[in-house]
Chain A
Amino acid sequence: MKEAFVQSIQNLRANKLRSLLTMFGILWGMISVVVLSATGEGFRRGNDKVLRELGKNIAIVWGGRTSMQAGGERAGRSIQLTLDDARAIAAESSMIAVVSPEIERSAVNVKSAYNAATARITGIEPQYQEIRTIELQYGRNFTWKDEEQVSRVAIIGADMADQLFGKRNILNEPITLNGVPYTVVGKIRKKNQDSNYSGPDNNKIFVPFAAMSRDMPRLNGEPGTLSDIIVAPKDWVVDLLPQALDERTGRIEDIDWPFERNVRAIIARRHGFDPEDKQAIAMWDTSLQTLMFGRMIGHMKQFFSIVGIVTLLLGGIGVMNIMLIAVKERTREIGVRKALGATTALIQRQFFLEGFFLTLSSGGAGMLIALGLCQLVNLLPMPARFSGMILSWQAGTMALITLVVIGAVTSTYPARRAAELPPVEALRFEM
Chain B
Amino acid sequence: MEAVIAEVDVVSGFSRTVVATGPPKGGHYVRTGSGHHARTAFFEIVREACYGLYHHRFRAALSMLGISWGIISVVVLLAYGDGFRGALDAGFRGAFSDGTVITFPGQTSLQAGGERAGKRLRVTPDDVLAVGELPLVKNVSPEFMQEASIVYGNKQSSHLVRGVAASYGVMRAEKPQAGGRFLDEEDVRLRRRVAFIGTEVERKLLGGIPPVGQTIRIAGQPFEIVGVLEEKVQLSNYNRPDKYCIFIPWTTMSSLADTRYVGTFVWQAVSPLLEPKATLQVKELLAKRYRYNPADERALNMFGSSKTNEIAAGMTGGLKIVLTFIGVLTLAIGGVGIMNIMFVNVQERTREIGVRKALGAKRREILLQFLLEGLATTFVGGVLGIVVSCGLVWLLSPRPFLAELLDDASRVTDIHLVLSVQLVAVTSAILMMVGLVSGLLPALKASRLDPIEALRYE
Q: Spell out A's residues near B (CB within 8 Å).
A: 17-18, 21-22, 24-25, 28-29, 31-32, 35-36, 39, 64-65, 67, 75-76, 107, 109-110, 115-118, 163, 251-253, 279, 289, 292-293, 295-296, 299-300, 303, 307-308, 310-311, 313-315, 317-318, 320-322, 324-325, 329, 383, 385-386, 431
Contacts and interface: CB of A to CB of B under 8 A. Distances in A.
B76 A307 contact: yes
Interface string B310-329: 00001100110010011001
B383 to A, nearest CB: 18
Contacts of A383: 314-315, 318
Interface stretch (B152-160, B287-295, B353-361): B152-160
B333 A28 contact: yes
A303 B404 contact: no
A421 B257 CA distance: 93
B318 A115 contact: no
Contacts of B200: 253
Interface of B: 58-59, 62-63, 65-66, 69-70, 73, 76-77, 80, 107, 109, 111, 116-120, 149, 151, 155-158, 200, 298, 314-315, 318-319, 322, 325-326, 329-330, 332-334, 336-337, 339-341, 343-344, 348, 399-402, 404-405, 407, 409
Contact of B330 (A299, A303, A311): A311
Given A289-B405, A314-B333, 14 more contacts: A22-B340, A31-B329, A65-B156, A67-B156, A76-B156, A107-B120, A115-B111, A117-B109, A117-B118, A118-B120, A295-B400, A299-B399, A310-B69, A383-B314
B333 A76 contact: no
A308 B332 CA distance: 15
A64 to B, nearest CB: 6
A296 B322 contact: no
Given A292-B405, A299-B399, A318 B333 contact: yes
A314 B80 contact: no
Contacts, number: 146
A164 to B, nearest CB: 8
B160 to A, nearest CB: 12
B109 A18 contact: no
B343 A17 contact: yes
Contacts of A76: 149, 151, 156
Contacts of A386: 318
Contacts of B337: 21, 25, 314, 317-318, 321
Contacts of B158: 64-65, 67, 279
Contact of A296 (B111, B116, B404): B404
B318 A314 contact: no
A59 B337 CA distance: 55
A252 B66 contact: no
A279 B116 CA distance: 43
A428 to B, nearest CB: 17
Nearest to B445: A17
A115 B120 contact: no
A325 B118 contact: no
B401 A116 contact: no
B299 to A, nearest CB: 12
A55 to B, nearest CB: 18
B344 A18 contact: yes
21 contacts: A18-B340, A21-B337, A25-B336, A25-B337, A28-B330, A110-B118, A116-B118, A117-B109, A117-B118, A118-B107, A163-B118, A251-B407, A295-B404, A307-B77, A307-B326, A311-B333, A315-B333, A318-B333, A321-B340, A324-B62, A386-B318
A115 B340 contact: no
A321 B322 CA distance: 29
Given A25-B336, A317-B69, A32 B156 contact: no
Contacts of A293: 405
A320 B341 CA distance: 11
A157 to B, nearest CB: 13
Contacts of A32: 326, 329-330
Instruction: Identify the 6 closest CB pairs spanning chains A and B, nearest first.
Output: A117-B118, A116-B118, A292-B405, A21-B340, A321-B62, A318-B337
Contact of B155 (A35, A65, A67): A67
Contacts of A35: 322, 325-326
B452 to A, nearest CB: 20
A96 to B, nearest CB: 25
B330 A314 contact: yes
A117 B326 CA distance: 51
A5 B147 CA distance: 78
Contacts of B118: 109-110, 115-118, 163
A314 B400 contact: no
B323 to A, nearest CB: 9
Contacts of A279: 157-158
Contacts of B348: 329, 431
Contacts of A322: 340-341, 344
Contacts of A24: 333, 336
Nearest to A17: B343
Contacts of B332: 28
A323 B291 CA distance: 80
